Structure formats: structure tokens, C-alpha cells
Amino acid sequence: MELPVEFKERMKEMLDGEYPEFIKSYDMPRTYGLRVNTLKISPEEFENICPFSIQKIPWVKNGYFYREQDMPSKHPYYFAGLYYLQEPSAMTPASRLPVYPGEKVLDLCAAPGGKATELAALLQGEGLLVANEISASRAKALLKNLELTGAVNTFITNEKPGNLSGIFEEYFDKILVDAPCSGEGMFRKEPEVAAVWEAGRPSYFAQLQKNILDQAVKMLRPGGMMLYSTCTFSKEENEGTISALLQAHPQMQICDMIPWAGFSAGIPQWGNGDPGLAKSVRIWPHKMQGEGHFMALLKKKGEEKRETVLRKKTSERGGAFPKETGKVLEQFWTHIKGRRFHSGLEIRGDKVYKVPGFERQVRGIKFLRNGLMMGELKKNRFEPSQPFAMALKREEFDSVLNMRANDVRVEKYLKGETIEVASGETARKEGWQLVCVDGFSLGWGKLVNGVLKNKYLNAWRKN
């Protein structure tokens, strides 16, 4: 492929004897990857049902290579949210941030959602994930991907980092900053990025990265950890940016991360010479089956601070719904067997949400979604939402239409068509049904006289 001349000259200076092998990697085909969504299925279970050829990505426990011709985005399992399609190297940062259920986590530059969806899976529905994206259009893609994943404990924001840091000072246990960058590591995957590259781009992005990290440090609690990553080779944006961070914030220290044989150590001389920079990791396309990446794991020194939990008053099943809507909601909630959906409910206008608990008041922040949108109140009825369906497990709803992946009705359902249902296929003969493929939820349908009226979200329907 055609690479910018100035880029090649700089890489030759950086890599010296490795440069010929590096350049040769651009003549090799790119790799394709999917990451199993452990909110819904384990890697081992997915291996047993996967209908196409996959090969384990050895440095990501739930990552797999797949063949381009298999087109997993067309399979019903993709629509069930069983996996996320992601370049193999790009899976690595979220796998190296040690996130545990119950923690408060921030993905500061989250769109389109590859890393945020994995962070949500690591939380397993406990704690809080704040996923932020400054671009309103990209934030919409982030929202859809988190909804498809089945995440319930999310706050999806559309803000500048500085506006968040005023609310969330020393709040988060873990922060991931997959920073905007010059994108040099993606040239093979996205040749259009190479076409617009200019020699001044690394300097521009390095300054942007420093500003973002300054805000991220403010939001990290003492004792908390932050992972910084880019998809570029630039010294200035990688070791240089981390050098500037450590100099500006002496309370931050660089840490070792889970190793892998193919990882290359950061080069201290490409920053300020701090030996600790060797703990950062570079992924080179001539050394691993993936594109270029950089990662650094950092920890904030100091004693952990605890706060009094402040929660908005929310409705709970059992008489706490507002009087004017209580009967409608109570009637639908009798079908929900998943106890996790029976508390933490909030009604805003005609919409019902399950909201996460906060330890701060979050008024004034621009956001797309606070929690899980459960559905809408309409005249004398409740219409459950597509995100609610994606969050439900088969056993959490009392009547399910479960079809095999090769059932022709699955394709019809995903295209928005009505489908016929045989007697006895569902527990109830009429009313709302959770539609599943091989036991994994796809959406809703309403059964009337043996015909399922399709309630699959229009914007998600298969072309």
C-alpha cells in the first residue's frame, strides 16, 4: 500500500534494522477479530456453538480470529449480542485494565464502543460504567453497541472531559483513555487514514492527549488505576505523552501489566528517559497478528477515599409505582422473573428506566442514556423496549419464542416481518413474547391468534 514518505522516513529512523520487516507487514492481509460478550456467554460455550471457523487470540482470553469470508455480522448470533467485531490489537487495552464487578469505571473516549462493551462485561451488571464520547453522532453508535451488549449499569455521556471532571473529581476506581491520535497503527486496516496523514498530526494530537489526561487524573480516586492507549506509532503521542503525564502529576506511577510474549516494551529514550517507560507496551504489526497499538497502565498514589452514597428515590415493584401508571406496570412486571429488574426503577415522562446508583449528583451533564431504558407507557399499556429485551436472559421472562439459528423465521423476524407460531411453542398463547435464537434474546413480539406481530426495533432491522 502507499504510505506517506515522511512517515516511512520517521519509522526507518525509529526501527533501524527492523524497518524492512515492518514495511513488509503492510503487504500482508489484515486480521479480523471478534470478542465474545461474557455478559451473555462464556468463551467455552461460544466455541461449542460457533457456526464458523475461529481461532483463539492468545493474548485476549475471550478474543478470536475469524475469516473475512465468514461475515459474522450477518449471523443471528451477532444480532443477539453474543460477540463484538473488533480488530485484535484493539481488544488488548480493555483486557489489561483490571476491572472487577461493583467498581465505578469511566471510558473517557468511548465511541464506537469496542472497549466500553468489554468493560461492561467485566462489571457483570454490578457497579457503574460511565461511557463518554464528545461527538454527538459517534455517541449514538456507542449507545447502540452498549444496548446490543445487554449492559444495564451505564451512564452514556456526551461531554468534554473538563465538564465531567468538575462532577466526578476523584470518583472512579478505573479509567480507560483510548485517546484520539494520529492513527498510524491503523494504516493497513484503514488506508484512508494514511491518505490524510500529515507530519504535524502527532504534535497536534499529543497536546490534545495531555489535556484529556489532565482531566482523567482529576477523576481517578487515590489508589485507582488508569490505562492509556493509542493506535499510533508516534513517540510524541506515546512515551512522550506518558512522560508529560508523569512530570505534571507526580502522584501517578506507571505499572506492569499482564504480559504476552509478542508485546514489545516501551522505549524510555522515546520519552524523557524515565526507565519506568519500559513498562508500557507497544504492539507492532510485524511482531503480532494485529495492527499497531500502545498501552500504559498507571496508578494514582494515596489512600482510598469512601463517600456516602447519594441515590435518587426510585420506584420498586409492590405498590411503589405512581398511582396513575401502577396497574399497567404491575401487570407487565408479573411476567418478569428476573429479580434484578424489580428495583431501581424510575419513570421520566412516559418512559421507564432502571437507573444505576451514583455517589454524586450528576445534574447539568449532557447524556444520551442514564441506565437501561425499559420501555414506554402508552394509553392503558406498557411497551417494552429493544434494549430491555437485549438485557434479559431467556429464563427471566415467563413466555419465550425460542428458535434455532437455522429456522427461516429468524431471518424473517430480523427483517421485521410477522411470523407464525405453532401451538405450544410459547408458554402463553397470547401477549408479549421474548424472541430468542438458541436461547439468546433478540427482541420482542406480540402473539395474537398464532401470529407474532414483530416488535423488533426498526432502526436495527436487517437489510
423 and 293 in a single domain? The answer is: no
pLDDT of residue 432 exceeding 80, the answer is yes
pLDDT at 116: 98
pLDDT at 231: 98
77-129 tens-digit pLDDT: 999 999 999 999 999 999 999 999 999 999 999 999 999 999 999 999 999 99
- Residues classed as catalytic: 231
Question: Structural domain tally of the chain?
Answer: 2
Q: What is the CATH number of the domain that holds 451?
A: 2.30.130.60
Task: Output 75 or 310, whichever has higher pLDDT.
Answer: 75
Q: Is 329 among the domain residues?
A: no
Q: Is 315 among the domain residues?
A: no
Tell me the residue range of the domain where 435 lies.
394-463
Percent of the chain scoring above 90 in pLDDT: 90
pLDDT of residue 304 exceeding 80, the answer is no
254 and 401 in a single domain? The answer is: no
**Boundary residue ending a domain (300, 326, 360):** 300
b/e map 416-451, b = 16+ CB within 10 Å: eeebebeeebbeeeeebbbbbbbbbbbbbbebeeee
284 and 405 in a single domain? The answer is: no
User: Which of 203-212, 315-324, 352-361 shows the lowest mean pLDDT across its residues?
Assistant: 315-324
pLDDT of residue 322 exceeding 80, the answer is no
pLDDT band, residue 461 (cuts 50/70/90): very high
Q: Is 375 among the domain residues?
A: no
Q: Is 160 among the domain residues?
A: yes
Q: Which distant-in-sequence residues (6+ apart) come within 8 Å of 27 by Cβ?
A: 1
Q: Is 114 among the domain residues?
A: yes
What mean pLDDT is reported for the chain? 94
As a whole number, mean pLDDT of residues 332-358 equals 92
pLDDT band, residue 380 (cuts 50/70/90): confident
240-268 tens-digit pLDDT: 999 999 999 999 999 999 999 999 999 99
As a whole number, mean pLDDT of residues 181-206 equals 96
The CB-side HSE value for 181 (13 A sphere, CA atoms) comes to 25
Contact 270, 310 (CB under 8 A): no
**Boundary residue ending a domain (300, 331, 363):** 300
pLDDT band, residue 305 (cuts 50/70/90): low
5-47 tens-digit pLDDT: 999 999 999 999 999 999 999 999 999 999 999 999 999 999 9
As a whole number, mean pLDDT of residues 174-196 equals 97
pLDDT of residue 403 exceeding 60, the answer is yes
Q: What is the CATH number of the domain that holds 250?
A: 3.40.50.150
pLDDT band, residue 463 (cuts 50/70/90): confident
Whether the model pTM is above 0.75: yes
pLDDT at 319: 43
Q: Is 105 among the domain residues?
A: yes
Sheet holding 431-437, edge to edge: 400-403, 431-437, 440-448, 451-454, 419-420
Q: Is 120 among the domain residues?
A: yes
285 and 406 in a single domain? The answer is: no
291 and 410 in a single domain? The answer is: no
